[in-house]
Amino acid sequence: MAVAGAKIKSIGAAQSPLLGFAMFGPAILYILLVIGAPFVLAVFYAFSDARIGSTSLHYVGLENFRSILQSPSFRKALWNSVVFTISAQIIVMVCANILSIALEKKFRGRGLVRFLILLPWVAPVSLGTIGWKWILDSIYSVITWVLIWAHVFKPYSAPMWLGEPKLAMASVILVHCWRLIPFSTVILLAGRTAIPKEIPEAAAIDGAGFWRTLFQINLPMMLPILSVAVLFGTIFTFTDMTVVYILTAGGPYDSTQTLPSLAFATGIQGSDLAAGAAISLFLVPVLVAIAYLMLRVAHRTEVN
Amino acid sequence: MAVVETRDLTKVFKEGQLGAVNNVNLETREGEFLVFLGPSGSGKTTLLRMIAGLETPTAGEILIGGRVVNNLTPRERRIAMVFQSYALYPHLTVYKNIAFPLKAQSVPKKLHKEKVEWAASLLGIGALLQRKPRELSGGERQRVALARAIVREPSVFLLDEPLSNLDAKLRLSAREELERFHRRVGTTTIYVTHDQVEAMAMGDRIMVLNHGVVRQIGTPKEVYDDPADTFVATFLGSPPMNLIENQDVIVGFRPEHFRLAQEVKDGSKVTFKFRVDNVEYLGAEFILSGCLAGGKADGKKVIARLLLGQSFEVGTIYDFAVPEHHLKFFGRTSEKRVGPRPLTWQ
Amino acid sequence: MKSLLRRKLGPRIVHVLVLAVFVVLLAFPFYWMVIATFKQNLDLYNVEANPFIFNLKPTLDNLHLLFMETRFVRWLGNTVFVGVLVVAITLLLSIPAAYALARLTGRWGERLGIGIFLTYLVPPTLLFIPLSRVVAILGLQDSLWSLVLVYPSVTVPFSVWLLMGFFKSIPKELEDAAMVDGLTRFGAFVKMVVPISMSGILTVVIFTFTLVTQEFVYALTFISPESNQMVGVGIPIFLVRGDVYFWGSLMAACLIASLPVAFLYNLFLDRFIAGFTVGAVKG
- Residues on chain A touching B158 (C-beta within 8 angstroms): none
Q: What is the pLDDT of residue B9?
A: 93
Q: How much is the mean pLDDT over chain A?
A: 83
Q: What is the pLDDT of residue B216?
A: 94
CB atoms within 10 A of CB B186: 13
Q: What is the pLDDT of residue B219?
A: 95
In tens, the pLDDT along A171-210 reads: 999 999 999 999 999 889 888 888 887 787 788 777 777 8
Q: How far apart are CA A224 and CA A234, in angstroms?
A: 15
Q: Which chain A residues in 155-174 lie under 8 Å from chain C, judged by CB atoms?
A: 155
- The mean pLDDT of B130-146, rounded to a whole number, is 89
In tens, the pLDDT along A210-256 reads: 888 888 888 888 888 888 889 889 988 999 889 999 888 877 888 88
Q: Does the structure show a pLDDT above 90 at C67? A: no
Q: Does the structure show a pLDDT above 50 at B187? A: yes
Q: Does the structure show a pLDDT above 60 at A303? A: no
Residue B14 touches chain A, beta carbons under 8 Å: no
Q: Does the structure show a pLDDT above 50 at A11? A: no
Q: Does the structure show a pLDDT above 80 at C7? A: no
Picking from A88, A121, A83, A117, the residue whose alpha carbon sits closest to that of residue A100 is: A117
Picking from B232, B212, B185, B275, the residue whose alpha carbon sits closest to that of residue B44 is: B212
Q: What is the pLDDT of residue A1?
A: 28
Give the single-character DSSP code of A59.
Answer: B
Let me know: does B320 contact B260? Beta carbons within 8 Å. Answer: yes
- The mean pLDDT of B299-308, rounded to a whole number, is 88
Phi, psi of A191 (to 5 degrees): -65, -40
Q: How far apart are CA C106 and CA C166, in angstroms?
A: 16
In tens, the pLDDT along A248-266 reads: 887 788 888 899 999 998 8
Look up the CATH number of domain A70-303.
1.10.3720.10
Which has the minimum average pLDDT: A138-142, A262-266, C6-10?
C6-10
- Residues on chain A touching B71 (C-beta within 8 angstroms): 7, 9, 11
- The mean pLDDT of C9-28, rounded to a whole number, is 88
- The mean pLDDT of C30-46, rounded to a whole number, is 85
Is the N-terminal amide bond of A252 cis, ω within 30° of 0?
yes
**Per-residue CA distances from C154 to C94, C123, C160, C214, C246 (Å):** 12, 8, 11, 12, 32
Q: Pick the residue from chain C with its C-alpha nearest to A178.
A: C26
Alpha helices, DSSP H, located in chain B = 44-52, 94-104, 109-122, 138-150, 168-185, 196-202, 220-225, 230-235
Q: In chain B, pLDDT over 90 holds for what percent of residues?
A: 41
- Residues on chain A touching B73 (C-beta within 8 angstroms): 9, 11-12
Verify whether the Cβ–Cβ distance C183 to B52 is below 8 Å.
no
In tens, the pLDDT along B213-259 reads: 999 999 999 999 999 999 999 999 888 999 998 888 999 999 999 98
Check residues A162 and B130 and name the one with the higher pLDDT.
B130
Picking from B335, B339, B282, B334, the residue whose alpha carbon sits closest to that of residue B308 is: B282
In tens, the pLDDT along B88-128 reads: 888 889 999 999 888 888 888 888 999 999 888 888 888 99
Phi, psi of C156 (to 5 degrees): -60, -50
Which has the minimum average pLDDT: A32-36, A107-111, C104-108?
C104-108
Give the model's confidence band at C241: pLDDT under 50 very low, under 70 low, under 90 confident, else very high: low
In sequence order, what are the residues at sequence separation of 6 or more whose Cβ sits closer than 8 angstroms to the Cβ of residue A274? A45, A46, A47, A48, A49, A50, A51, A60, A64
Q: What is the pLDDT of residue C46?
A: 77
Dihedral sign for Cα atoms in the order B103, B105, B111, B116? negative
CA Rg value for chain A:
25
Q: Does the structure show a pLDDT above 90 at A93? A: yes
Q: How far apart are CA A131 and CA A178, in angstroms?
A: 12
Q: What type of residue is B86?
A: Y
In tens, the pLDDT along C190-218 reads: 988 998 888 889 889 988 988 898 899 99
Verify whether the Cβ–Cβ distance B56 to A11 is below 8 Å.
yes
Give the model's confidence band at B208: pLDDT under 50 very low, under 70 low, under 90 confident, else very high: very high
The three-state secondary structure class of B139 is helix
- The mean pLDDT of C150-175, rounded to a whole number, is 89
Predicted structure pTM score: 0.80
Q: Does the structure show a pLDDT above 70 at A301? A: no
Q: What is the pLDDT of residue A2?
A: 33
Q: How far apart are CA B49 and CA A189, in angstroms?
A: 43
Q: In chain C, pLDDT over 70 holds for what percent of residues?
A: 94
C-beta pairs of C17-22 under 8 Å, 24+ apart in sequence: C18/A98, C18/A99, C18/A102, C19/A102, C19/A103, C19/A113, C22/A95, C22/A98, C22/A99, C22/A102, C22/A117, C22/A181
Residue A103 touches chain C, beta carbons under 8 Å: yes
In sequence order, what are the residues at sequence separation of 6 or more whose Cβ sits closer than 8 angstroms to the Cβ of residue A83? A169, A173
Which has the minimum average pLDDT: A3-7, A34-38, A79-83, C93-97?
A3-7
Give the model's confidence band at B16: pLDDT under 50 very low, under 70 low, under 90 confident, else very high: low
Verify whether the Cβ–Cβ distance A13 to B71 is below 8 Å.
no
- Residues on chain C touching B105 (C-beta within 8 angstroms): 181-182
Q: How far apart are CA A235 and CA A228, in angstroms?
A: 11
- What domains can be seen in chain C, in order of their start residue? 2-63 (no CATH), 72-276 (1.10.3720.10)
Kindly list the domain boundaries of chain A, sorted by start residue: 70-303
- The mean pLDDT of B155-167, rounded to a whole number, is 87
Give the model's confidence band at A7: pLDDT under 50 very low, under 70 low, under 90 confident, else very high: very low
Structure ipTM over 0.95, yes or no: no
